[in-house]
Amino acid sequence: MLRPVSVLLVLVPALALGDYMDHFAQRDDVGPRKVPYLGDARLLLIPVEVKGFPPFDRARLEQFFSPDDANGFVHYFEVASLGRYRPRVTVGPTLSYERCPLPEAQFPGCRIARGDINALTGGMDMLREAVRKTDEAGVDFTAFDVNGRAGAPDRWADGVMLLTNVPFGGIAFPFAYFNQGTPIVADGVRIPHLAIAGDSDLFVMIHEFGHLLGLTDLYDETQRYAGLHLSFMGSWGYDPKVVLPDAETRWRLRWANWIQVQGRQRLTLKPVETSGQIARVGVGDEYFLVENRGPGEFDQHLGVRGLAVFHIDRGVKSVTAQGSFPKLGAKEGDFVNRTLDCVNCDAWHPYTRLVQADGAFELEAYKPFRAADDLFRPGTSLLNDPSSSIRSPSNPVNASNLYSGQPSGFALNDVRLLSDGSIEVTLDAPPAGQCEERLCPEGEACAPVQCGEPPPKTGCAAAGVEPAAAALLLLLLEQGLRRRQRR
């Protein structure tokens, strides 16, 4: 049953609280602002069925949210995270309504305007009631609190989703924010936000749940340009050809194995889907990320394999607050501004920009993404613009300069595709000062797996002999010498 709730800010005074979709400007607010993004998680899906709309296909729901569906919700997040995030979803009992449970005046025909997060405040009673009815039907909400910042139950839900049979695009709703800091509580477990989608397109739930993980939208719904491709938070059509996370998202969630480039390095990057390898060039709030993308279990729409290069500027709008990396912040409620004026709405200076290998800037002109043209493949390169001019529609120079026009020290050359799907590339970065930065204080993927060229091997290892083999070789030589001495 539902129990009384204390005010959220009183419950967690010691946490650095940011925003529930700040793209990990804060990561210490897992629980009140974000669901856990590492380890095992137990998620609840609440189906809400309204009479007069097509009924649920329960078998289809169970399949899509089971670990066995190769194109489903669970398998997607396991692959995208290299198995570091392992959600398991329980499909709760179907809640049936004879008529729309939302106020008719605000939701005529039971339809919710896409992107209107404020409109759903009129449906907060329905969300409360959906949780209450699910609780009364025998669902134990403590089963959905197995994880948290410390990897243990923390009285915050690991994730709650609501699916309706009413045609609906989808929304992630921060209930606690609109309820003056007070979350829904069931069986002592607090639910601060819910991911909501319509049954007509289950793949939308993958995107909406991304908001609960702390991610912001990376598309431009104003259609001034094509937005960010190669991201499930960006310009993806919510079709069965599910797109993987972009490199910035993967890196922020600690789902990557990252190499910090210093000086000139010849790297072999394996397909990111199976390796999680990302090369990072630059430090601070503005930098470049390089990864190997191509068709696999996911990204099947690409058709060809190549290097995706992302230009990141964490200083865009409210993704960052005062201070610099890694002390980034975001104010609670900034997501409203990002919804109205998204961080990727400026085609020429977004938070995360896909650098296109052909230099045609077609995405900025709202033209289609073409993997064969936009990924870096043999014969393509990315260099500095010596004029240090600022990139703009009147100055469409495809270069590795920072948005200020200043040189970044980044260059990409000599791309070579290997038969196993790996890609060799020569990357240039500043020659020093690149190795001290960390993504987070401690834990897996908080620090690069390598920074700069690895130290040279010495002794037998330098000659291509492994240490164990070298020891065996020395033993055999010593035994041979003893035999000669006996003779």
The predicted structure's pLDDT at residue 237 = 87
C-alpha angle with apex 213: 209 to 215, nearest 5 degrees? 90
Contacts of 215 (CB under 8 A, 6+ apart): 21, 23, 24, 233, 249, 253
Its pTM stands at 0.88
Instruction: Check pLDDT > 90 for residue 247.
Output: yes
- Percent share of the chain, pLDDT over 70: 85
CA distance 71 to 73: 7
Stretch 54-69: mean pLDDT: 96
Phi-psi region of 81 (alpha: psi -120 to 50; beta: other; left: phi over 0): alpha
Q: In whole angstroms, what is the distance from residue 143 CA to residue 154 CA?
A: 12
Quick one: pLDDT at residue 87? 98
What mean pLDDT comes out for the span 427-445? Answer: 95
pLDDT of residue 457: 66
**Where do the H-state alpha helices sit in 46-165?**
58-64, 73-80, 124-136
| Mutual angle of helices 73-80 and 204-212, in 10-degree steps | 50
- How many Å apart are CA 291 and CA 310, to the nearest integer? 9
Tell which residue, 417, 341, 317, 430, has the closest CA to residue 376. 417
291 vs 261: CA distance, rounded Å: 13
Among residues 13, 14, 27, which one has the least CA distance to residue 325?
A: 27
Rg (CA), the chain: 25
Q: Dig out the tokens for 165 from the structure.
A: 């049979």
Picking from 251, 253, 255, 211, the residue whose alpha carbon sits closest to that of residue 233 is 211
**What is the number of other CB atoms lying within 10 angstroms of the CB of residue 426?**
15
pLDDT 10s digits, 346-403:
999 999 999 999 999 999 998 999 999 999 999 999 999 999 889 999 999 999 999 9
How many other C-beta atoms lie within 10 A of the C-beta of residue 403? 17
Domain boundaries, the chain: 8-212, 247-452
Q: For residue range 88-132, what is the model confidence (pLDDT) as tens digits?
A: 999 999 999 998 888 887 777 777 766 566 666 778 999 999 999
Rounded Cα distance, 175 and 184, in Å: 8
Tokens matching residue 331: 């104010």
- Above 60 in pLDDT, residue 15? no
Average pLDDT, the chain: 87
| Res 487 pLDDT > 60 | no
CB atoms inside a 10 Å sphere around CB 462 = 9
Of 165, 303, 298, 295, nearest to 239 (Cα)? Answer: 298
**pLDDT reading at 466 higher than 60:** no
- What is residue 104's predicted lDDT score, i.e. its pLDDT? 80
Q: Six-digit token pair at 294? A: 């191509």
CA angle 306, 308, 310 (to 5 degrees): 170
| Cβ atoms of 19 and 68 closer than 8 Å | no
Query: What stretches of 61-220 adopt beta strand conformation (E)?
Result: 85-91, 95-97, 160-164, 171-173, 184-186, 189-191, 194-198
**Strand-pair partners of 23:** none
Q: How far apart are CA 276 and CA 293, in angstroms?
A: 10
Q: What is the pLDDT of residues 176-230, one digit of tens each?
A: 999 999 999 999 999 999 999 988 889 999 999 999 999 999 988 777 777 899 9
The pLDDT of residue 142: 98
